[in-house]
Amino acid sequence: MNETIKNSLYDRAYAAWAAERTSWWESAAEGITWDRRWDTVFDPSSGPFGRWFPGARLNTSFNCLDRHVAAGRGEQAALIWDSPMAGRIVTYTYRELTDRVAKVAGALAALGVRKGDRVVIYMPMVPEAAIAMLASARLGAIHSVVFGGFAAAELASRIADAKPKAIVSASCGLEPGRVVKYKPLLDAAIAMSPHKPDACLILQREAAIAELTPGRDHDFAAAEAAAAPHPPVSVAATDPLYILYTSGTTGRPKGVVRDNGGHAVALHNSMKMIYGIDPGDVYWAASDVGWVVGHSYVVYAPLLAGCTTVMYEGKPVGTPDPGAFWRVCAQHGVRVLFTAPTAMRAIKQQDPEGKLAAGYDLSKLEALFLAGERCDPPTAVWAHELLKRPVVDHWWQTETGWAITAGFRGYGLFPMKPGSGGRPCPGYDLHALDDNGHLLQRGETGNLSVRLPLPPGCAPTLWENDEGYRHAYISDFPGWYRTGDAGVIDADGDVSVMGRTDDIINVAGHRLSTGSMEEVLAAHQDVAECAVIGVKDELKGQTPVGLVVLKAGVNRPEADIVAELVALVRERIGPVAAFKDARVVARLPKTRSGKILRATIRRIADGEQFTVPPTIEDATALDEVGRVLGR
């Protein structure tokens, strides 16, 4: 196929969707097994912008598991757990995974978990994390997975908001060089939260056996062994499947809700359309189940599609070397690898010529997909030259649950421009708007926004907070969903995402709020005011740097205060914040109305050109910032 024809396949598919925006999804919905079909495909009158597939009923765990066993995939590998951290590789067939999920669902039911109850899951990358998610889905309960790199206070705020009936956790996680004991963090979080769960199910891992709290904690393995298998519970398509908390523009995390029906339809459809993956193929998303990529592409999408998913407990480098990803791809016959650009940069840094890849048989690998942050062109070019396979950057966010823009293996790939995240997926009417919500011309940079309704799979609301959803995403530009990303759509329709328009930064593919770090710094006894900005970083894309003004009269050594601030962010937010750098300044650059000039500070830190804003209160503050940042 030549490129023009390849291109037109995508164009035709997009045009077909654009002609029938809601009914287009009916044929995609045929990929799902329903207990009851929908009354209407889309109801614009309910929720902040409407609901998909009202009236329909299904069970997501049944669609991920039982139906594949019934269709003859029982002996096919469903999940391969590959853990260089634990030195183990374990494969579960669809039959084995279904049995374990049914038993763990039975164990949760025995602890009182019912349809609509919340189950918080705070676990490392072990199969039991995926099993707990699917078991919760089997009961029609609503899971909320919290990434293991968050500290107790962050876990506590999620427990307080989700009010779980039960929590599933593990005794420990394994990070290179250290065992992270989860149980003390869990206990501290429960102590901090005004809401207490009735029960905790604790997976004991050999590296650190935890002491269980009598009356509250139960041993995961024993509970599973004793449980009766639980059948799937039929739920409404519009019922929530999960809540995933993500950084918002304030320090308070947002509980992004995913429903059952639209999610199943969109993710199932994406496997062929975007990734070009068929049932039976091996698919590997090297992400953590604590992030949206882990939810969608470690657990749900590959299983909805009858694929084999790889779950990896390790790092791209150091476990044991920068050849780890190529070893996993070769050993398990991975067809598509999906990871964050930062992982590729880590490999490139340690093995610039990609020598280790040459030692593995990568003949089954067909494409590399990247997301989580913009892929810098040198990294995309490096990966392409090394693998000699398509490297596809695609753009999405926790709220959407699947890609907004991508390259489409299902429609024949069009050549990706370096720095571009591809073209809009059918389902997204994407435009750049100016700050007043007016459409911009192609080639003009603005607020990337999606004309409502959002497609199936995207968050219909925030947990118990329709108003918060409207305020955060759709009230700025009525009729549109504001992504929070700035970007440009060029004459060919290729989309380049330039960065966030709010206080969110991306550190090693992890979404973090500088606002929440500022809250922590401001709580320190010696800090009068502060600003946290994301500064360019060769490996992680961005890292946070704090600028603090001390209270008058504080004369303790600055180094001590900085060390305390670094420790405080680690303790309150967690190691994942990677907050390691704070500098003391006499004053912060501000406008005359008192607004801190964060964008200008960031440009100074990144060594970029900047203009001194005419509204600045005191221009010498900029010189001082430049000096302390070594610019």
Interface residues with ligand AMP (CB under 6 A) are 246, 291-292, 371-374, 393-398, 421, 484-485, 497, 500, 506, 511
**Smaller CB separation from ligand COA, 7 or 169:** 169
CA dist., res. 163 & res. 463, Å (int): 11
**Smaller CB separation from ligand COA, 371 or 430:** 371
CA end-to-end span of the chain, whole Å?
Answer: 51
Contact positions with ligand COA (CB under 6 A) in 522-541: 539
Closest CA to 584 of 539, 516, 524: 524
Query: Which two three-digit tokens encode residue 250?
Result: 């304030």
Among residues 111, 199, 235, 346, which is the contact residue for ligand COA, using CB under 6 A? 346
Region label for 464, one of left (φ > 0), alpha (ψ between -120 and 50) or beta (otherwise): left
Minimum distance of ligand AMP from residue 370's CB (angstroms):
7
Minimum distance of ligand COA from residue 585's CB (angstroms):
25
**Smaller CB separation from ligand COA, 149 or 456:** 149
Closest CA to 345 of 536, 70, 143: 536
578 binds, among ligand AMP, ligand COA, none (CB under 5 to 8 A by kind): ligand COA
Closest CA to 365 of 275, 273, 270, 267: 275
Contact positions with ligand COA (CB under 6 A) in 304-343: 315-317, 339-340, 342-343
**Smaller CB separation from ligand COA, 236 or 371:** 371
Closest CA to 625 of 562, 556, 548: 548
The secondary structure of residue 395, as a DSSP letter, is B
Q: Is 151 in the site for ligand COA (CB under 6 A)?
A: no
Minimum distance of ligand COA from residue 556's CB (angstroms):
25
Minimum distance of ligand COA from residue 150's CB (angstroms):
8
* 140 and 130 Cβ atoms separated by less than 8 Å: no
Nearest-5° Cα angle at 457, 451 to 461: 70
Q: Is 293 in the site for ligand COA (CB under 6 A)?
A: yes
Query: Which two three-digit tokens encode residue 584?
Result: 């003391």
Looking only at the bridges linking them, the beta strands covering 51-52 and 42-43 are antiparallel
Contact positions with ligand COA (CB under 6 A) in 46-85: none
Minimum distance of ligand AMP from residue 121's CB (angstroms):
18
323 binds, among ligand COA, ligand AMP, none (CB under 5 to 8 A by kind): none
Query: Which two three-digit tokens encode residue 238?
Result: 């519009």
Closest CA to 128 of 211, 204, 241: 204
127 binds, among ligand COA, ligand AMP, none (CB under 5 to 8 A by kind): none
What single letter denotes the amino acid at residue 360? Y
Contact positions with ligand COA (CB under 6 A) in 176-205: 180
CA dist., res. 424 & res. 17, Å (int): 11
Minimum distance of ligand COA from residue 182's CB (angstroms):
8
* 213 and 186 Cβ atoms separated by less than 8 Å: no
Minimum distance of ligand COA from residue 84's CB (angstroms):
13
What residues form DSSP beta bridges with 406? 423
Among residues 48, 248, 372, 546, which is the contact residue for ligand COA, using CB under 6 A? 372
Among residues 25, 52, 81, 291, which is the contact residue for ligand COA, using CB under 6 A? 291
The CA-atom distances, in angstroms, between 397 and each of 119, 145, 256, 457, 472 are: 23, 16, 11, 12, 14
Minimum distance of ligand COA from residue 90's CB (angstroms):
19
Which string of b and e fits 376-387 if b means at least 16 CB within 10 Å? Answer: beebbebbeebb
Minimum distance of ligand AMP from residue 174's CB (angstroms):
23
508 binds, among ligand AMP, ligand COA, none (CB under 5 to 8 A by kind): ligand COA
Minimum distance of ligand COA from residue 334's CB (angstroms):
15
* 506 and 513 Cβ atoms separated by less than 8 Å: no
**Smaller CB separation from ligand AMP, 169 or 398:** 398
Binding mask 570-589 for ligand COA (x = CB under 6 A): -----xx-x-----------
* 531 and 518 Cβ atoms separated by less than 8 Å: yes
C-beta atoms surrounding 263 within 10 Å: 29
Applying CB under 6 A, the residues found at the interface with ligand COA are 124, 148-149, 173, 175, 180, 286-288, 291, 293, 315-317, 339-340, 342-343, 346, 371-372, 508-510, 539, 575-576, 578
